[in-house]
Chains A and B, each alone.
Chain A
Amino acid sequence: MTEAATFIDLRFHRDFYAGAAIDEAVKVFARFGEFHLSEAPDAWCVRMRALRPAQTQRLAHELANYVLGVTVQRGGAT
């Protein structure tokens, strides 16, 4: 497997995160990476990698923080 093929999977639990916050965050960060959204029964799932492979971990952290911030701004998960 090449470094460029490495994805990170993020799981945002539905009880803690708003789905709309994930949509908003992915739009903001879209130009920095590749994002695939899916849903599990208990979580919103994001499979992602940065355009620059070395930045994937950092991008994941930034995206997760952004999602959390938007969720709080919205007043919570629901």
Chain B
Amino acid sequence: MSALASGPLDLVALRPQAGTQAFFRHRAIGDKVLITGFEGTWSLLTREEFGRFAAGAVVPGSELHTRLVAGNFLRAEYDVRRAVEAVKARRRFLHAGPNLHIFVVTLRCNETCVYCHASRANMDQVQTDMSPEVAEKAVELALRSTSPFITIEFQGGEPLVNFPVVQHICRYAGRRAQELGKELQFTMVSNFALMDDAKLDFLIEHRVQLCTSIDGPEQLHNAQRKLPTMDAHQRAVHWIKRINQRYVDMGLDPTLYHVEALLTTTRETLPLWKQVVDTYVGLGCKALFLRPIDPFGFADRTRLRLEYPRSAYLEFYRNALDYMLELNRQGVQVLERYAGIFLTKILRGEDPNFLDLRSPAGAGIGQLAYNYDGKIFSCDEGRMLHEMGDSKFLLGDVHTSGYRDLVGHETVRAMVLASNLDGQPDCVNCTYQPYCGTIPTFNYKNQGSIFGRMRESSVCAVHKGIQDHLFEKLAAGDPAVLAAFDRWTTHRPREHFVQPVQAPTEL
């Protein structure tokens, strides 16, 4: 039987001959073979073509030779300058510094979610509110970042519970950013249950980008995100529609300006992939992030009830993605964020700087998390672990730490090295290495080491499974799918959410 037939590649029979190929990695995708280069170029070869490539038997001047030269896969024609520029483009974020600053303005929350990642506190626990003094010191640290663009993300608990401090931060940071010449943006992750017209007026006026959680259809959402009134879904939906209408009334493009919603996938979600997508589309959402559940917060305690095999998640993902692509074919524009992130790296050669899916990860060098009490962590997951009693990712506090102390912290150094896939066992040989990323806190929580062991890592399994599916789509070459992928990787900045140069009227 030929080594080039379908099934696993028989490399012994292929008789690979080193010497003509540039550095590459390979992986079977259906009846083709994907090769990726050091700088992230890729090509899908037939097995016969791969056999010739591996054997060093590509005829100069042939169509295959031309294609391999175009991908920088042949040593004799290797364009070092092009490779350097490509790697620089993919790692551009390394020269920035932390751009995402997560402000946990309170741990108090009015909802009780079965999977709560944030480690909430009850509504009477007012000692878990951030004070204005701590908030100002956190803002000063955030604005000392070497990144020219700063995003302050209000989180909790439920940030609307401590709305006076949210307002104070908006005013104070807005003024300080102008004085310091920093580009500033605010986002808020809220369940909206405590939203009212006055709060919304303030948030709209101060250009705070609003995000919420929608776990799918009403029954599932209300079962997982519990309010005493059991109407969490209705309240979230009510405010999503109100906010989206406000953007329309302001003359903003609704395809760009709308409430972003986040899904947390539990075991109950898996069979409901179609209903989940339909719910998001029905709400006018243009994006859906099919996130698997995290092992942090309450989710750690309830995971026996909520968790699922990653193979089940990947089946859910493939079903949902295929359905979204079918909707796109019918003219409904909705994108899947995981796919958008990977495809931007694969098709555009750029990194969208999603901090949990880049190499090295964003912990400490792309983001910092400020707890209500002034303690500062490498990332929000590090803060969650602290709330669970493990403070390994605590870097300092707003009262005594300097910016350089934080980003140069010994723990941040270790996390950066641990999440640099150029040195990660298994990842260095993975075909998807140029597009992937690992999360040190996740590795630590699940496997006891910030380096992790990728062969046993559920994150690795998910990332590989998603990229397998995307490359299968690319190999199939359906024009409608490729057109959707092109839209999903077209970056359209939301400039309205950037703070204006002029101070707001009430300052």
The answer, among A13, A42, A76, for a CB contact under 8 Å with B410, is A13
- Residues of A close to B411: CB separation below 8 A: 13, 16
- Report B444-462 residues with CB < 8 Å from chain A CB: 444, 449-451
Are B413 and A68 neighbours in the complex by a CB distance under 8 Å? yes
Are A61 and B410 neighbours in the complex by a CB distance under 8 Å? no
The answer, among B392, B404, B408, B449, for a CB contact under 8 Å with A76, is B449
Cα A71 to Cα B423 in complex, Å, equals: 14
Cα A12 to Cα B392 in complex, Å, equals: 10
Interface presence of B417 (CB below 8 A): yes
- Known A13-B392, A15-B392, A16-B450; judge A72-B417 contact (CB<8 A): yes
Are B408 and A61 neighbours in the complex by a CB distance under 8 Å? yes
Interface presence of A70 (CB below 8 A): no
| B55-77 to A contact mask, C-beta < 8 Å, 1/0 | 00000000000000000000000
- Report A17-71 residues with CB < 8 Å from chain B CB: 17, 42, 57, 61, 64-65, 67-68, 71
Cα A57 to Cα B408 in complex, Å, equals: 10
- Residues of B close to A13: CB separation below 8 A: 392, 410-411, 414
Are B414 and A57 neighbours in the complex by a CB distance under 8 Å? no
The answer, among B391, B414, B449, for a CB contact under 8 Å with A68, is B414
Chain B, interface size category, equals 10 to 19
Determine how close the nearest CB of chain A comes to the CB of B305; give it in whole angstroms.
Answer: 29
- Report B432-470 residues with CB < 8 Å from chain A CB: 444, 449-451
- Known A15-B392, A57-B404; judge A65-B449 contact (CB<8 A): no
Are B408 and A64 neighbours in the complex by a CB distance under 8 Å? yes
- Residues of A close to B413: CB separation below 8 A: 64-65, 68
Determine how close the nearest CB of chain A comes to the CB of B307; give it in whole angstroms.
Answer: 25
The answer, among B410, B423, B444, B450, for a CB contact under 8 Å with A12, is B410
- Residues of B close to A72: CB separation below 8 A: 417, 423
- Report B362-417 residues with CB < 8 Å from chain A CB: 391-392, 404, 408, 410-411, 413-414, 417
- Residues of A close to B450: CB separation below 8 A: 16
Smallest CB-CB separation from A46: which chain B residue? B410
Are B404 and A11 neighbours in the complex by a CB distance under 8 Å? no
- Report B142-177 residues with CB < 8 Å from chain A CB: none
Cα A76 to Cα B417 in complex, Å, equals: 12
Determine how close the nearest CB of chain B comes to the CB of A40; give it in whole angstroms.
Answer: 12
- Residues of B close to A64: CB separation below 8 A: 408, 410, 413
Are A10 and B410 neighbours in the complex by a CB distance under 8 Å? yes
Smallest CB-CB separation from B390: which chain A residue? A15
Cα A10 to Cα B408 in complex, Å, equals: 10
- Residues of B close to A68: CB separation below 8 A: 410, 413-414, 417
Q: Total interface residues on A, using CB and 8 Å? A: 17
- Residues of B close to A61: CB separation below 8 A: 408
Smallest CB-CB separation from A14: which chain B residue? B392
Determine how close the nearest CB of chain B comes to the CB of A29; give it in whole angstroms.
Answer: 15
From A11, A13, A42, A61, residue with most partner B Cβ within 10 Å: A13
Cα A12 to Cα B411 in complex, Å, equals: 7
Cα A67 to Cα B413 in complex, Å, equals: 10
- Known A13-B392, A57-B404, A61-B408; judge A76-B451 contact (CB<8 A): yes
Cα A72 to Cα B450 in complex, Å, equals: 12
Cα A57 to Cα B449 in complex, Å, equals: 28
Cα A10 to Cα B451 in complex, Å, equals: 22
Determine how close the nearest CB of chain A comes to the CB of B431; give it in whole angstroms.
Answer: 24
Determine how close the nearest CB of chain B comes to the CB of A59; give it in whole angstroms.
Answer: 13
- Residues of B close to A17: CB separation below 8 A: 410, 414
Determine how close the nearest CB of chain A comes to the CB of B417; give it in whole angstroms.
Answer: 6
Cα A64 to Cα B450 in complex, Å, equals: 17
Determine how close the nearest CB of chain A comes to the CB of B406; give it in whole angstroms.
Answer: 13
From B392, B408, B410, B414, residue with most partner A Cβ within 10 Å: B410
Are B404 and A16 neighbours in the complex by a CB distance under 8 Å? no
- Residues of B close to A57: CB separation below 8 A: 404
Cα A66 to Cα B410 in complex, Å, equals: 11
Smallest CB-CB separation from A15: which chain B residue? B392
Cα A68 to Cα B449 in complex, Å, equals: 15
Cα A69 to Cα B166 in complex, Å, equals: 42
Cα A44 to Cα B404 in complex, Å, equals: 20
Cα A72 to Cα B413 in complex, Å, equals: 12
Cα A67 to Cα B411 in complex, Å, equals: 12
- Residues of A close to B414: CB separation below 8 A: 13, 16-17, 68, 71
Determine how close the nearest CB of chain B comes to the CB of A27; give it in whole angstroms.
Answer: 18
Determine how close the nearest CB of chain A comes to the CB of B448; give it in whole angstroms.
Answer: 9
Cα A71 to Cα B410 in complex, Å, equals: 12
Having A17-B414, A65-B413, A67-B410, one finds 8 other A-B pairs with CB under 8 Å, namely A10-B410, A11-B410, A13-B411, A16-B392, A57-B404, A68-B410, A72-B423, A76-B451
Write 19 A-B pairs (CB below 8 A) sorted by A numbering: A11-B410, A12-B410, A13-B411, A13-B414, A15-B392, A16-B392, A16-B410, A16-B411, A16-B450, A17-B414, A42-B392, A57-B404, A64-B408, A65-B413, A67-B410, A68-B410, A68-B413, A68-B414, A76-B451
Pick the 10 closest A-B CB pairs, nearest first.
A16-B414, A12-B410, A68-B413, A64-B410, A13-B392, A64-B413, A13-B411, A10-B410, A15-B392, A68-B417
